[in-house]
A and B are shown apart, each in its own frame.
Chain A
Amino acid sequence: MTAGPAVEIEGLSFRYGGRHWVLRDVDLSIDRLDFASVIGPNGGGKTTLLKLLLGLLEPDRGSIKVLGTSPERARPRVGYLPQHATIDASFPIRVLDVVLMGRLAPSRPLVRFGRDDRRVACAMLERVGLGGFERRSLAELSGGQRQRVLLARALAADPELLLLDEPAAGLDIKVEQDFFQLLGELNRTKTVLLVSHDLGFVSAFVKTVVCVHGGVDVHPTSELDGTMIRDLYGGDVRLVHHDHSLGSH
């Protein structure tokens, strides 16, 4: 593992094809082994920020470093969980085959998955609590299980940084809590950065909150209060405090 922050953004500005700026003069630094939640209103630039970190979009101004290098070069060391709406749940595929996709790499132009790949994929399923699901069809899983399969896929390349786009959208509270606890465990060895439009998602595991609304503010979770949220969402938002207490249900 190289030294330096996991994510380092300086003077970043981005807009889609000459329209208004989605992100403007953004400076952001996320430390290694941080657990950061990117929040902000819809259209505020959260997903755009994530796509920039993945190198799917190019900044108009400024620089981005991911794991000490360019976003594109960092990709093999980054695990990505897309918004679940982008996945076709009726696609005829087995759980194991989904996870194996995480083993794809640029150095393997003609892909043949071998025994090692399968072993890692099974271990990752075990890691997310889906041991024995290898041969199940993706279509027959629940929303929460499907998210875990996609998380296992993201983990299959043993990434240093996990980027997650709205990982809890559509999950019920209990499933969401379990999922977060899993992320908390993974955070012991990996930097976690997730995007959420739901403030309820600022759970006990989150260490840093990144507010995106054109610009970017960073707050440790301890500072999170009503004023800050009013500024961010431009109106009174009732603050619901919920502790994700572990194992006390």
Chain B
Amino acid sequence: MEFLHALAQYDFLQHALVAGLLAGVASGIIGSYVVVRRIATISGAIAHFVLAGLGAARWLQVVHGQQWAQPLLGAVAAALVAAAIIGLVSLRAGEREDTVIGALWAIGMAVGILFIARTPGYNEDLMSYLFGNVLLVGAEDLWLMVLLDLLVVGCCVTLYPQLQAVCFDEEFARIRGLRIEATYLLLLSLVALTVVLLVSIVGIVLVIALLTLPAAVAGRFTSTLAGMMVLASLLSMVFTSAGLAVSYGPDLPAGATTIVLAGLAYIGVIGFAALRRRLGRRS
């Protein structure tokens, strides 16, 4: 109740709520691809590499007065670079893929921390990048989020059959003449954009959870990829909104609260399924 009163009163809460809903759409759709294509670790590496972009942009802004260097733009650039590197490595397979993923993961963090260390306001920035601070989302951020959302949703709807075919059976899709490399790189780019959307809500460290948990829960209730996407999006919106509402009264971090709620739902669903299997076996 307290939350609803505050919501009516404060702009920043309304922005936070809308940001959570916008991020929920993309996280449900792309998260479903991440889960069925099993690229959660790749998504994690992209997310952590984003710190380099955030740090560099913030440094340019604060230290060099380059106002155009919005942190969100830096994040988009870094995420796309990471997606391209991982995509090309895994397609060419010259290097061991998991080594490259691990390297990008750590190097991105290191570069980001160096930039942030050279920027006044070190601690606040770092904490909100790592764990999210949805209450800092401004009106102009929301427009950028709308744009990213439209891009992600548009691509996923128009290219659904291709993306589905590549995720389901890449070799067969190649034999049927689909352009596997291009499709896979596009998918990773969409993951990258979604990661950026989610970073402002739950932060770099917690992004993987919001990408995978709603989709994993949804996957247990649907028999199609499209159904999984719709349900995962709805769940993701519920989690971000509930996370905001629950955290507001006791003044908890909203991002972490959101993830804990999503995690509880996931564990609950798995536990329930296991219980039902055991009971079913007994009867």
Interfacial residues of chain A within 88-104, with CB under 8 A of chain B in the complex: 88, 90-94, 97-98, 100-102, 104
- Cα of A90 to Cα of B169 in the assembled complex, Å: 13
* Residues of B in contact with A, size category: 20 to 34
B16-59 toward A: CB 8 Å interface, digit per residue (1/0)? 00000000000000000000100000000000000000000000
The answer for the CA separation of A113 and B165 in the assembled complex, in Å, is: 13
The docked-state distance in angstroms from the alpha carbon of A56 to that of B175 is 8
**What residues on A are CB-neighbors of B222 within 8 Å?**
92
For A107, what are the chain B residues with a Cβ–Cβ distance below 8 Å? 177
Smallest Cβ distance from B30 to chain A, in angstroms?
15
A97 touches B177 (CB 8 A): no
Interface of A is mostly: loop
Q: Which of A91, A92, A137 has the most CB of B within 10 A?
A: A92
Q: What count of chain A residues pass the 8 Å CB interface test? A: 34
Contacts of B219 in A (CB 8 A): 90, 92
Shortest distance between the CB of B161 and any CB in chain A (Å) = 4
In the assembly, what is the distance between CA of A78 and CA of B219, in Å? 33
**B208-231 CB contact bits vs A (8 Å, 1 = yes)?**
000000000001001111011000
B173 within 8 A of A: yes
Q: Is A106 an interface residue (CB 8 A)?
A: yes
**Quick check: is B272 within 8 A (CB to CB) of the other chain?**
no
B28 to chain A, nearest CB (A): 13
Rank and list the top 6 A-B pairs by shortest CB-CB distance, nearest first: A106-B177, A137-B223, A104-B176, A111-B161, A101-B165, A92-B228
Beyond known contacts A92-B225, A106-B176: 14 more, CB 8 A cutoff: A75-B175, A75-B177, A76-B176, A82-B172, A92-B36, A93-B164, A93-B223, A101-B173, A102-B176, A104-B178, A105-B177, A106-B178, A107-B177, A110-B158
